């Protein structure tokens, strides 16, 4: 059966509308379960449709006069977004049960996911910007969802202010690029930049574009919103933003820079953008990990560690060197890193959501001895954190290895070295949390903990997928390779 | 041949399922587990045995198979893939029959040894047996060295598990740790060797045209080039072979890493039978046989194998002469007998080595199970000086044990005679053919034959003959049926299994009756390489081991006479109603032997007297220099981290300012580098 190329996007958008319709006709008591189920179903269906489209192997399809283009990277990332959205929806079932306006929450999650999957299909700077705003606006509202909670409201406002500024910079960058080239489409841009006469304008525009993407991926120096927003937002929303939204920023950056701004043409113009990404990668991973090292608040530690992970993924853009095979390898490594990270990081934040639901507290000390009362969740947390650190307990081991190898192979051994040092540092602060949970003695013993089904299911699935990707990485990695090839040799 | 692959893959998976059943049901619902998991284990090993026999017959019908079951890490970026697969050829088919057969009998015997005695922790015990069997079967069927290494390690882990079954007592707990650590020491070399093989050849496959033994051969012939890191290929392959041999020496308890094995007697006796006959210890020499296509290319490594084997055979036999406990005698005899297998393999006698592996598996399983029955009758008193006269009290066990002892001592026509003689004969012909070191190894092996005959029958006479020397021995009753039946089956096998390769009678019965040789030579359609014939060609052509024709009958008569001399001495000294400790004539030497040449003490001294001061010195360096650097980095990070927290003020206008400043810096970097100013 040949599905329309945009099926996953349609599913997500229509599901968002359907959520609002269902809300109008369902009694309040059963609403939460129904809406959460619908959202999770939409996420899984769109991921499944994406996998189906990839398996169909249609190659590249352009739509709407070249405004959108669907290829293997679109389906790959759409699958990531769908899976993360489903995990977040399942976990939210327990998290927002007592809150008002549940339909708005689920609809916003779906709309943002739809926006991300459009970002993954963007083929012109205009659609790219529109899709990015479709992600950002629901995200601001989601962060401020607990609006009676001062932290949540403050975080939403800060996120909005920084986001608005970043959007302005992005739009300004787009206008500069347009001024230099006169076109928006990626393919047309690739032709127009070669030998362009307005190098300064174009260069400034490209740096501002990088700034806009750095905001979405929470890379330095556009990262300031991240710790605040993740800390204040409801934990499932933090999981959603730090995994899916970040991956969306990356797929857009990869599409723009691989499809519209060919490296060879830019090196001829004297704008070596790989260097900018290399600098950003080093600064981002170092700042993220160093700042994470002394946090006392668990959620904030995870927020900074997620900034650090953006630094690792940036290696995929920094270590491009020209030969197709090595470029495919390093971009594919970055893609698979984002895939594994999508599950692992979501899972880690959802464990925090679980702890918030139990009223455990926010600091490392509050987590002491959690393993005594919640062994399953604590085991899951340990697996997820060690996989984030790159130990061979989860798929994160392979992807980090592939990223560093890619950096070394394209001559950026110093980048790989910085990455390794940072990984070692990250092991330090992840271990601190694992130690608190498993080794330290709890304040009070014999606490009976409820087991919220939704969050439990979500974290266990996240951990199982993480471990499965260590054992059988091939399924995902071959897809990531195909996705990378679709962009590198387009 | 997909169906063969599926069925063969099931051979290790079925005991693995039994392991899971015993572990999970035993933990959550012990009442639902009949006999503590024994029945599940018996059923699983019986299925494995049936499948193994079927695989054996399939190979016999020309159905040798090599197939990939699972790709762990696919090949990417010009690198190699890491895969798991099954290799079903005459060697592995024979091995899985041995392993599943011995394991089945050990499971049945355990019903008597563990269940009837009311031992605790039965689900744990049977789970361990299941995993042990599964690991060894998967190891035997491994298609490449990486997979073999994984299951090699699992085998080591399982022996830790089972040796330490009675972990609340200090002895078993310490013995388990010792077995684990000593074999792990050898395994480090194997791991380095494995990495070296992968780095050199880009593959660790055992069989086929693209396997690493085939590539190594081609490289020596100058027909292929491999990455030898700038070293001469022959030297490099020798290095790799020696590294892999490290793992073999640890697992097969060869000198100098044999010290773990006697201590491992602390485990339940059926476990000892399994470890010694078919799994742990067998894994080492099996790896040599598996890699024979590689070892046959390196005369130096072959000579080392032969020397280590010959020396270990003699060395361990001397220590067995004076032991008081029945299981200690058997433990040293295991070390000694695996020395013979190494001697056979090292002198180029692939068939002889595998033959002795087969017969030894039979009679050593028998002797341990027999000893287990005696130990139960003696209420766990293992001192032979307190036994005696058990012949009349447990006749089935006695006759079976006697059959096994005759096999161990190498008396015609019992199993050990044929295989040990094949080993010695081969070593002799190669030794006389211009390999003086192999000849030396042969002589050590020959002397050990006399010792073997002596210590074996010293054990038999002290245990079963004469008058009972204690109350317990006087009151001993016959073994229960679930112990007698496995012992009896093995007793018959130990008598006849040697007839599969009656080499000394070649002239009388004709070559077609040398079943094992024909089996291992067997045609292998589609699998270039691993036949005994091919190995023999390699040993002669590449390693340059030439043989001198010596009549196998002469060699057989020599070793038989030597063995009978040992038996005769034991007869005169110990087959009397009131035997005494005649080995006292050895004087201080006896104390030396009894204390195993003080090797444990020596190794402890190595650890405390050499390694510990060295470690202290390194620690000083580590604490001052390395830690200094690391602490410097981390304190810098932590200080920086603290500063960074202050940058994150929480004031959103500061953020926007910093954000814009960051952008400006980026713009400046690009514009400067672009050369626009």
Contacts of A451 (CB under 8 A, 6+ apart): none
User: What pLDDT is recorded for position A346?
Assistant: 93
Q: Which chain A residues in 201-220 lie under 8 Å from chain B, judged by CB atoms? A: 203-204, 206-208, 210-211, 220
Residue length of chain B: 677
Smallest Cα distance from A222 to chain B, Å: 6
Contacts of residues B652-656 at CB distance under 8 Å and 24 or more positions apart, as own/partner, are B652/A157, B652/A158, B652/A161, B652/A162, B655/A158, B655/A161, B655/A162, B655/A224, B655/A225, B656/A161, B656/A162, B656/A165
Candidate from A37-41, B333-337, B460-464 with smallest mean pLDDT? B460-464
- pLDDT tens for residues B533-580? 788 888 888 877 888 888 878 888 888 888 888 888 888 888 777 777
Tell me if B88 sits within 8 A of B64, measured CB to CB: yes
Q: Which residue in chain A has the smallest CA separation from B70?
A: A472
pLDDT at residue A39 is higher than 90: yes
In a domain, B429, yes or no: yes
B676 close contact with A: CB closer than 8 A: yes
Distance (Å, rounded) from C-alpha B460 to C-alpha B391?
10
- pLDDT tens for residues B608-657? 888 888 888 888 887 777 777 777 777 777 777 777 767 677 788 888 88
The DSSP code sequence of A409-466 is: HTT-HHHHHHHHHHHHHHHHHHHHHHHHHHTSPPSSS-------HHHHHHHHHHHHHH
B639 close contact with A: CB closer than 8 A: no
Q: Which of B73, B150, B670, B676 to mutate to probe the A interface, most A CBs <10 Å?
A: B670
Pair (B576, B629) in one structural domain: no
- 3-class SS of residue A60: coil
Q: Which of A224, A272, A276 sits opposite B655 (nearest CB)?
A: A224
Q: Which of B634, B645, B670 sits opposite A276 (nearest CB)?
A: B670
Q: Which of B638, B658, B659 sits opposite A294 (nearest CB)?
A: B638
Pair (B442, B554) in one structural domain: yes
Pair (B638, B567) in one structural domain: no
- 3-class SS of residue A240: helix
* Structure tokens given for B595: 């204390």
Q: Of the candidates B112, B143, B174, which is a domain's last residue? A: B143
Contacts of A29 (CB under 8 A, 6+ apart): none
Smallest Cα distance from A8 to chain B, Å: 29
Q: Which residue in chain B has the smallest CA separation from A266?
A: B674
In a domain, B496, yes or no: yes
Q: Which residues of A430-445 are buried (b: 16+ CB within 10 A; e: fewer)?
A: bbbbbebbbeeebeee
Q: Which residue in chain A has the smallest CA separation from B658?
A: A221
Name beta bridge partners: B205: B144
Pair (B505, B403) in one structural domain: yes
Pair (B662, B530) in one structural domain: no
Q: Which of B76, B652, B665 sits opposite A162 (nearest CB)?
A: B652
Cβ-Cβ contacts under 8 Å, B81 against chain A: none
Pair (B514, B630) in one structural domain: no
Tokens 């291992």, located at residue: B520
In a domain, B559, yes or no: yes
Q: Of the candidates B143, B160, B178, which is a domain's last residue? A: B143
Q: Which residue in chain B has the smallest CA separation from A280?
A: B666
Once rounded to an integer, what is the mean pLDDT over residues A295-304?
90
Contacts of B526 (CB under 8 A, 6+ apart): B64, B66
Tokens 């013995």, located at residue: B175
A231 close contact with B: CB closer than 8 A: no
Distance (Å, rounded) from C-alpha B446 to C-alpha A20?
90
pLDDT at residue B2 is higher than 70: no
Residue B381 CA: distances (Å) to CA of A102, B5, B96, B374 = 74, 47, 34, 9
Q: Which of B73, B641, B660 sits opposite A294 (nearest CB)?
A: B641
User: What pLDDT is recorded for position B168?
Assistant: 85
Q: Of the candidates B533, B548, B582, which is a domain's last residue? A: B582
User: What pLDDT is recorded for position A38?
Assistant: 93
Q: Which residue in chain A has the smallest CA separation from B654?
A: A224
Taking alpha carbons only, the member of B190, B108, B110 closest to residue B155 is B190
In a domain, B282, yes or no: no
Distance (Å, rounded) from C-alpha B667 to C-alpha B669?
5
Distance (Å, rounded) from C-alpha B550 to C-alpha B428?
8
Once rounded to an integer, what is the mean pLDDT over residues B394-408?
87
Cα B183 from chain centroid (whole Å): 10
Q: Which of B629, B633, B637, B651 to mutate to probe the A interface, most A CBs <10 Å?
A: B637
- pLDDT tens for residues A208-249? 999 899 988 998 888 888 888 898 899 999 999 999 999 999
Interchain proximity A162–B671, CB inside 8 Å: no
Q: What is the mean pLDDT of chain B?
A: 83
Distance (Å, rounded) from C-alpha A452 to C-alpha A356?
12
pLDDT more than 70, % of chain A: 99
Q: Which of B73, B645, B675 sits opposite A270 (nearest CB)?
A: B675
Distance (Å, rounded) from C-alpha B266 to C-alpha B345?
30
Tell me if B72 sits within 8 A of B10, measured CB to CB: no
Tell me if B501 sits within 8 A of B416, measured CB to CB: no
Tell me if B460 sits within 8 A of B378, measured CB to CB: no
Pair (B669, B562) in one structural domain: no
Q: Give the pTM.
A: 0.73
Taking alpha carbons only, the member of B284, B279, B250, B248 closest to residue B179 is B250
Number of C-beta neighbours around residue A197 at 10 A: 8
User: What pLDDT is recorded for position B210?
Assistant: 80
User: What pLDDT is recorded for position B1?
Assistant: 43
Cβ-Cβ contacts under 8 Å, B71 against chain A: 474
Pair (B25, B122) in one structural domain: yes
Q: Which of B650, B655, B660 to mutate to probe the A interface, most A CBs <10 Å?
A: B655
* Structure tokens given for B18: 């039994």
- pLDDT tens for residues B166-224? 888 888 888 888 888 888 888 999 999 998 888 888 888 888 778 888 888 888 888 77
In a domain, B252, yes or no: no
Q: Which of B74, B644, B673 sits opposite A275 (nearest CB)?
A: B673
Distance (Å, rounded) from C-alpha A426 to C-alpha A407?
19
- pLDDT tens for residues B7-50? 888 888 899 998 988 888 888 887 777 777 788 888 889 999 99
Could you report the predicted ipTM of this complex, rounded to two decimals?
A: 0.82
Residue A444 CA: distances (Å) to CA of A360, A401, B182, B435 = 11, 41, 43, 74
Cβ-Cβ contacts under 8 Å, A211 against chain B: 663, 666
Interchain proximity B669–A169, CB inside 8 Å: no
Contacts of residues B530-538 at CB distance under 8 Å and 24 or more positions apart, as own/partner, are B530/B89, B530/B91, B530/B206, B530/B207, B530/B292, B530/B293, B531/B90, B532/B350, B532/B351, B534/B293, B535/B292, B535/B293, B535/B296, B535/B350, B536/B348, B536/B350, B538/B217, B538/B293, B538/B296, B538/B297
Once rounded to an integer, what is the mean pLDDT over residues B663-677?
76
pLDDT at residue A453 is higher than 60: yes
- pLDDT tens for residues B477-519? 777 888 888 888 888 888 888 888 877 777 677 777 777 777 7
A337 close contact with B: CB closer than 8 A: no
Cβ-Cβ contacts under 8 Å, B643 against chain A: none
Pair (B510, B659) in one structural domain: no
Q: Which of A273, A290, A474 sits opposite B644 (nearest CB)?
A: A290
Pair (B559, B615) in one structural domain: no
In a domain, B358, yes or no: yes
Cβ-Cβ contacts under 8 Å, B645 against chain A: 291, 294-295
Q: Which chain A residues in 371-400 lie under 8 Å from chain B, judged by CB atoms? A: 398
Interchain proximity B650–A224, CB inside 8 Å: no
Distance (Å, rounded) from C-alpha A442 to C-alpha A451?
19
Interchain proximity B666–A210, CB inside 8 Å: yes
Confidence of residue A164 (pLDDT cuts 50, 70, 90): very high
Q: Which of B640, B648, B669 sits opposite A227 (nearest CB)?
A: B648
Interchain proximity B669–A279, CB inside 8 Å: yes
Distance (Å, rounded) from C-alpha B43 to C-alpha B100?
11
* Structure tokens given for A212: 């806009």
- pLDDT tens for residues A46-87? 999 999 999 887 688 888 888 999 999 999 999 999 999 999
Number of C-beta neighbours around residue A347 at 10 A: 30
Confidence of residue B674 (pLDDT cuts 50, 70, 90): low
* Cα radius of gyration (chain B): 28
Distance (Å, rounded) from C-alpha B655 to C-alpha A157?
13
Q: What ranges in B264-325 are assigned the alpha helix state H?
A: 269-277, 280-290, 292-295, 299-320
The domain of B412 spans 298-582
A261 close contact with B: CB closer than 8 A: no
User: What pLDDT is recorded for position A490?
Assistant: 66
B672 close contact with A: CB closer than 8 A: no
Torsion of CA A134, A136, A140, A143, to 10 degrees: 110
Once rounded to an integer, what is the mean pLDDT over residues B382-389?
79
DSSP for residue A61: E
Cβ-Cβ contacts under 8 Å, B79 against chain A: none
For residue B102, the domain's CATH number is 1.20.120
Tell me if A143 sits within 8 A of A152, measured CB to CB: yes
> How many C-alpha atoms does B674 have within 13 Å on its Cβ side?
26
In a domain, B88, yes or no: yes
Taking alpha carbons only, the member of B249, B269, B246, B271 closest to residue B259 is B249
* Cα radius of gyration (chain A): 21
Pair (B541, B668) in one structural domain: no
Candidate from A342-346, B290-294, B623-627 with smallest mean pLDDT? B623-627
Q: At what angle do helices B395-409 and B350-377 cross, to 10 degrees?
A: 150
Number of C-beta neighbours around residue B628 at 10 A: 11
B667 close contact with A: CB closer than 8 A: yes
Where is A377: in which H helix or E strand? helix A375-389
Cβ-Cβ contacts under 8 Å, B83 against chain A: none
Distance (Å, rounded) from C-alpha B180 to C-alpha B156?
6
Distance from first CA to last CA of chain A, Å, rounded? 26
* Structure tokens given for A15: 């599901």
DSSP for residue A68: E
Q: Which chain B residues in 58-87 lie under 8 Å from chain A, judged by CB atoms? A: 71-74, 76-77
In a domain, B256, yes or no: no
- Say how many CB pairs under 8 Å bridge A and B: 109
Pair (B572, B606) in one structural domain: no
Residue B416 CA: distances (Å) to CA of B93, B144, B298, B338, B410 = 21, 31, 29, 12, 5
User: What pLDDT is recorded for position B74?
Assistant: 76
* Total domain count, chain B: 3
- 3-class SS of residue B578: coil
């Amino acid at each position: 059966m040949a599905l329309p190329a945009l099926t996953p996007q349609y599913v997500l958008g229509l599901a968002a509308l359907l959520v609002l319709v269902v809300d109008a006709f369902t009694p309040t008591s059963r609403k939460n379960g129904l809406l959460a189920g619908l959202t999770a179903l939409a996420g899984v269906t769109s991921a499944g449709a994406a996998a189906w489209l990839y398996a169909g192997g249609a190659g590249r399809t352009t739509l709407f006069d070249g405004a959108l283009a669907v290829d293997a990277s679109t389906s790959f990332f759409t699958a990531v977004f769908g899976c993360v959205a489903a995990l977040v929806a399942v976990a939210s079932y327990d998290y927002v049960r007592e809150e008002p306006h549940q339909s708005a929450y689920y609809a916003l999650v779906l709309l943002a996911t739809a926006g991300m999957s459009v970002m993954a299909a963007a083929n012109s700077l205009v659609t790219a910007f529109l899709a990015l705003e479709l992600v950002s606006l629901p995200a601001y509202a989601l962060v401020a969802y607990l609006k009676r909670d001062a932290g949540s409201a403050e975080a939403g406002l800060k996120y909005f202010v920084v986001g608005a500024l970043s959007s302005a910079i992005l739009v300004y960058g787009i206008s500069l690029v347009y001024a230099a080239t006169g076109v928006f489409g990626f393919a047309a841009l690739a032709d127009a930049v070669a030998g362009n006469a307005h190098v300064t304008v174009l260069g400034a525009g490209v740096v501002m574009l990088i700034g806009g993407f750095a905001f979405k991926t929470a890379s330095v120096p556009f990262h300031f919103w991240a710790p605040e927003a993740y800390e204040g937002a409801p934990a499932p929303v933090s999981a959603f933003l730090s995994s899916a939204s970040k991956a969306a920023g990356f797929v857009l950056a990869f599409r723009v820079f691989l499809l519209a701004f060919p490296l060879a043409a830019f090196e001829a113009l004297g704008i070596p953008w790989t260097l900018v990404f290399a600098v950003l990668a080093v600064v981002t991973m170092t700042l993220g990990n160093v700042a994470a090292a002394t946090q006392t608040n668990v959620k904030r530690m995870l927020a900074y560690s997620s900034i650090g992970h953006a630094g690792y993924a940036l290696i995929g853009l920094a270590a491009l060197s020209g030969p197709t095979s090595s470029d495919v390898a390093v971009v594919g490594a970055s893609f698979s890193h984002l895939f594994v990270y999508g599950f692992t990081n979501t899972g880690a934040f959802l464990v925090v959501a679980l702890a918030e639901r139990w009223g455990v507290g926010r600091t490392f000390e509050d987590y002491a001895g959690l393993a005594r009362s919640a062994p399953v969740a604590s085991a899951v947390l340990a697996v997820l954190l060690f996989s984030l650190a790159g130990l061979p307990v989860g798929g994160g081991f392979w992807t980090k290895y592939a990223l560093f190898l890619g950096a070394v192979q394209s001559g950026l051994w110093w980048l790989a070295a910085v990455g390794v040092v940072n990984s070692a540092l990250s092991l330090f602060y992840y271990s601190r949390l694992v130690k608190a949970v498993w080794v330290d003695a709890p304040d009070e013993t014999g606490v009976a903990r409820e087991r919220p089904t939704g969050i439990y299911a979500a974290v266990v699935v996240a951990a199982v997928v993480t471990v499965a990707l260590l054992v059988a990485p091939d399924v995902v990695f071959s897809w990531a390779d195909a996705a990378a090839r679709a962009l590198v040799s387009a | 041949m997909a169906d063969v692959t599926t069925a063969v893959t099931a051979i290790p998976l079925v005991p693995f399922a039994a392991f899971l059943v015993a572990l999970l049901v035993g933990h959550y619902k012990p009442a639902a587990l009949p006999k503590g998991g024994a029945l599940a284990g018996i059923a699983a090993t019986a299925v494995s045995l049936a499948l193994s026999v079927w695989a054996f017959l399939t190979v016999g019908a020309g159905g040798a198979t090599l197939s990939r079951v699972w790709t762990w890490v696919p090949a990417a970026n010009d690198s190699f893939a890491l895969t798991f697969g099954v290799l079903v050829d005459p060697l592995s088919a024979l091995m899985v029959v041995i392993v599943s057969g011995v394991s089945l009998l050990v499971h049945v015997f355990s019903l008597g040894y563990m269940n009837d005695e009311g031992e605790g922790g039965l689900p744990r015990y049977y789970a361990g047996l299941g995993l042990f069997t599964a690991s060894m079967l998967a190891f035997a069927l491994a298609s490449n060295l990486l997979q073999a290494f994984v299951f090699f390690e699992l085998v080591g882990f399982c022996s830790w598990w089972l040796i330490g079954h009675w972990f609340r007592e200090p002895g078993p707990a310490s013995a388990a740790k010792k077995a684990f650590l000593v074999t792990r020491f050898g395994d480090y070399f194997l791991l380095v060797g494995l990495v070296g093989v992968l780095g050199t050849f880009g593959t660790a496959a055992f069989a086929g045209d693209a396997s690493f033994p085939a590539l190594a051969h081609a490289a020596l012939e100058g027909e292929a080039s491999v990455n030898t890191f700038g070293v001469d290929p022959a030297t490099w392959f020798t290095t790799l072979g020696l590294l892999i041999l490290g793992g073999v020496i640890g697992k097969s308890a060869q000198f100098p890493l044999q010290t773990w094995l006697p201590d491992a007697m602390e485990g339940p006796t059926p476990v000892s039978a399994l470890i010694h006959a078919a799994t742990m210890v067998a894994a080492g020499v099996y790896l040599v046989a598996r890699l024979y296509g590689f070892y046959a290319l390196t005369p130096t490594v072959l000579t080392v194998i032969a020397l280590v084997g010959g020396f270990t055979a003699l060395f361990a036999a001397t220590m067995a002469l004076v032991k008081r406990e029945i299981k200690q005698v058997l433990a040293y005899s295991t070390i000694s007998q695996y020395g013979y297998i190494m001697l056979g393999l090292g002198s180029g006698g692939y068939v002889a080595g595998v033959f002795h592996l087969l017969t030894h598996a039979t009679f050593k399983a028998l002797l341990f199970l027999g000893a287990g029955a005696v130990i139960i009758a003696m209420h766990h008193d293992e001192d032979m000086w307190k036994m005696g006269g058990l012949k009349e009290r447990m006749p089935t066990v006695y006759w079976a044990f006697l059959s096994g002892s005759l096999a161990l001592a190498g008396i015609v026509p019992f199993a050990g005679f044929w295989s040990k003689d094949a080993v010695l004969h081969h070593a002799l012909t190669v030794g006389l053919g211009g390999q003086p070191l192999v000849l030396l190894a042969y002589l050590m092996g020959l002397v050990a034959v006399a010792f073997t005959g002596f210590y074996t029958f010293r054990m038999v006479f002290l245990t079963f003959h004469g008058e009972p020397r204690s109350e317990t021995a006087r009151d001993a009753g016959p073994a229960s049926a679930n112990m007698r039946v496995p012992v009896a089956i093995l007793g018959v096998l130990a008598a006849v299994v040697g007839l599969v390769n009656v080499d000394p009678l070649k002239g009388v019965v004709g070559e077609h009756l040398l079943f094992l040789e024909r089996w291992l030579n067997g045609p292998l359609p589609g699998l270039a390489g691993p036949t005994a014939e091919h190995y023999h060609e390699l040993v002669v052509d590449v390693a340059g081991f030439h043989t001198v024709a010596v009549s196998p009958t002469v060699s057989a008569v020599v070793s038989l006479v030597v063995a009978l001399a040992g038996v005769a001495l034991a007869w005169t000294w110990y087959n009397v109603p009131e035997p005494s400790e005649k080995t006292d004539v050895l004087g201080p030497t006896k104390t030396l032997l009894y204390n195993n040449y003080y090797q444990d003490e020596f190794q402890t001294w190595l650890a405390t007297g050499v390694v510990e001061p060295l470690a202290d010195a390194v620690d000083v360096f580590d604490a001052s220099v390395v830690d200094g650097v690391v602490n410097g980095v981390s304190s810098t990070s932590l200080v920086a981290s603290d500063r960074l927290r202050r940058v994150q003020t929480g004031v959103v206008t500061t953020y926007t300012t910093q954000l814009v400043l960051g952008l400006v810096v980026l713009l400046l970097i690009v514009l400067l580098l672009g050369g626009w100013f």
